[in-house]
Structure 1
Amino acid sequence: MENKELKFKTTLNCGGCVSKVKPDLDNSQGISKWEVDTDNPDKILTVSSKGITEDQVISIIKSKGFKAESIR
């Protein structure tokens, strides 16, 4: 299965916010790589997916108290 790039607009404003979601994203099945651009006004989360869905990523972010919405 090839990697699919998913992008999300988030409320992950700083390194502290990113560190709260890091363990969940690092340990999630179906994510090969991810990063958050906190310099971008929309705080873009980019996920290289090996099977995880957009809804699953959004669910992980929401479970930590942040918002994420898919960018198409």
Structure 2
Amino acid sequence: MENKAIQFKTNINCGGCVASVKPHLDKAVGSGQWQVDTANKDKILTVTSEAVTENEVIETVKKAGFKIEAL
């Protein structure tokens, strides 16, 4: 299976927010990668992984206490 980049609009807006969601996303994404563009007004989360679905990312971020929607 091929790694695909999935993007989401979030309210993860600072380093502290990234740090609090990090353990959740690291576990969900596995060997894939993720990053949040906190400089973008929509705080874009990009997930690149073959191991996680769009819905799994959404549930993971919501459980961590943040808002998220697929782009």
Pair 1:14–1:53, CA change in 2 (3 A): same
- Calculate the TM-score normalised by the size of structure 1: 0.91
How many residues matched?
Answer: 71
Superposed displacement of residue 57, structure 1: 0.2
Q: Kindly indicate which of the two structures has a greater share of residues assigned to helix.
A: 2
Amino acid at match of 1:67: K
- Counterpart in 2 of 1:59? 59
Q: Which runs of 5+ in 1 are unaligned?
A: none
Q: Which runs of 5+ in 2 are unaligned?
A: none
Pair 1:29–1:16, CA change in 2 (3 A): closer
In structure 2, how many angstroms separate the alpha carbons of the residues matched to 1:67 and 1:30? 21
Superposed displacement of residue 29, structure 1: 4.8
Cα RMSD (Å): 1.3
- Counterpart in 1 of 2:11? 11
- Counterpart in 1 of 2:36? 36
SS of match in other structure, 2:5: strand
- Calculate the TM-score normalised by the size of structure 2: 0.92
In structure 1, how many angstroms separate the alpha carbons of the residues matched to 2:47 and 2:13? 17
SS of match in other structure, 2:19: helix
Superposed displacement of residue 30, structure 1: 5.0
Q: Which runs of 4+ in 1 moved over 2 A?
A: none
